[in-house]
């Protein structure tokens, strides 16, 4: 447990002390404000709070000196497992907590589906970003960024397959879902979040076993 906490602390201190992370956060926020249709900005901002902790903490973390030092001093026992757990758990918890506060600016109270979808997507996105940083660094970043851009360009629930492919927008989709108007029911996004979580976790475990 101590190693998990120490890893999380090192991730936070490393990120907060890098000016590039602050610039990255500002750039993404400006992009959201410029590209997103005005009426959708509050909802997309909530989805942004789900995802950004992972971007803030995990970008370049896998190749950092801080992580290498943690893996070096935990060569035995369960230490490395605790480091790997902290890598996805800390960003996931941060995304779930921050979005749980931000959501009250647009929905009070939010539908119960939001809590489930936000937590699952925060965890899934952390795992996916962690894997792409380790195995498909720049290609993975590009795909995730393009997915996010497609989401914020004009998010509307139409029942099409693309609504479910843009999983980064599930938290916002739950908040603005209106089955009466023909959009998918919020429960659909809960089920889709479970599927994304299962796929992300399964792939992560597979890669760990393959590289061990």
The single residue listed with the structure tokens 């902790």 is 53
**What string of DSSP letters covers 72-84?**
HHT-STTHHHHHH
Per the CB < 8 A criterion, the answer to whether 92 and 193 are in contact is no
pLDDT of residue 156: 54
pLDDT digits (tens, 9 = 90+) for 121-169: 999 999 999 999 988 888 888 999 888 888 888 655 555 666 778 898 8
- Please give the structure tokens belonging to residue 159: 């029942």
| CA proximity to 121, closest of 159, 148, 160, 82 | 148
pLDDT of residue 89: 94
pLDDT of residue 137: 86
Per the CB < 8 A criterion, the answer to whether 10 and 45 are in contact is no
């Amino acid at each position: 447990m101590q190693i998990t906490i120490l890893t999380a602390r090192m991730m936070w201190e490393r990120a907060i002390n890098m000016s590039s992370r602050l610039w990255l956060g500002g750039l993404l926020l400006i992009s959201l404000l410029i590209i997103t249709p005005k009426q959708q900005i509050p909802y997309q901002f909530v989805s942004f709070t789900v995802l950004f902790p992972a971007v803030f903490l995990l970008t370049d973390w896998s190749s950092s000196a801080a992580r290498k030092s943690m893996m070096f001093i935990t060569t035995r026992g369960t230490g490395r497992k605790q480091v790997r757990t902290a890598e996805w758990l800390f960003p996931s918890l941060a995304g779930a907590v921050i979005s749980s506060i931000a959501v009250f600016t647009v929905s009070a109270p939010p539908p119960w589906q939001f809590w489930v979808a936000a937590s699952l997507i925060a965890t899934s996105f952390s795992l996916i970003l962690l894997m792409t940083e380790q195995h498909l660094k720049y290609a993975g970043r590009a795909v995730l960024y393009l997915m996010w851009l497609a989401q914020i360009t004009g998010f509307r629930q139409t029942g099409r397959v693309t609504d479910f492919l843009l999983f980064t927008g599930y938290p916002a989709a739950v908040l603005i879902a209106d089955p009466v108007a023909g959009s998918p029911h919020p429960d659909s996004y809960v089920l889709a979040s479970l599927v994304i979580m299962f796929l992300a976790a399964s792939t992560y475990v597979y890669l760990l076993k393959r590289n061990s």
